[in-house]
């Protein structure tokens, strides 16, 4: 008799896993989107840092710092980039958005043109 009870309860709970999976999918999708957006923000900050260093190197050897910094950026980030070259080269870029409804974020990197030690 106990074996019949086990079989009947497993039949009733057969669809529970499917319902739980469907309930969890939106949260998993949200976690993936947040992780991807954070990765894009990190890539934008890294690109701005590379561009600022390229501009600073160009300024040290007597070339145009703004042009070198813009050239070092990925093509998709060049149009909205803001580059300054006063005492330091500063590059500000917009973070690409995965969803159009997200607020526009910008990141900035700056490299000093000081003489340094070497």
Cβ–Cβ < 8 Å for 56, 65: yes
Determine, yes or no, domain membership for 31.
yes
**What pLDDT does 18 receive?**
77
* Number of domains making up the chain: 1
**CA–CA separation, 23 and 32 (whole Å):** 16
Determine, yes or no, domain membership for 107.
yes
**What pLDDT does 65 receive?**
93
User: pLDDT digit of tens for each residue in the chain (118 aa)?
Assistant: 555 555 555 556 667 777 788 888 999 999 999 999 999 999 999 999 999 999 999 999 999 999 999 999 999 999 999 999 888 999 999 999 998 888 999 999 999 876 654 4
pTM assigned to the model: 0.75
Which structural domain range is residue 69 located in? Answer: 19-112
Determine, yes or no, domain membership for 64.
yes
């Amino acid at each position: 008799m106990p074996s019949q009870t086990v079989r009947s309860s497993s039949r009733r709970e057969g669809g529970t896993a499917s319902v739980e999976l469907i309930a969890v999918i939106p949260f998993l999708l949200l976690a993936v989107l947040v992780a991807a957006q954070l990765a894009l923000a990190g890539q934008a900050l890294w690109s701005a840092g590379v561009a600022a260093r390229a501009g600073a190197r160009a300024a040290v050897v007597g070339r145009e710092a703004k042009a070198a910094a813009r050239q070092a950026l990925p093509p998709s980030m060049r149009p909205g980039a803001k580059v300054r070259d006063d005492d330091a080269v500063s590059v500000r870029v917009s973070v690409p958005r995965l969803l159009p409804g997200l607020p526009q974020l910008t990141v900035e990197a700056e490299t000093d043109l000081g003489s340094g030690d070497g």
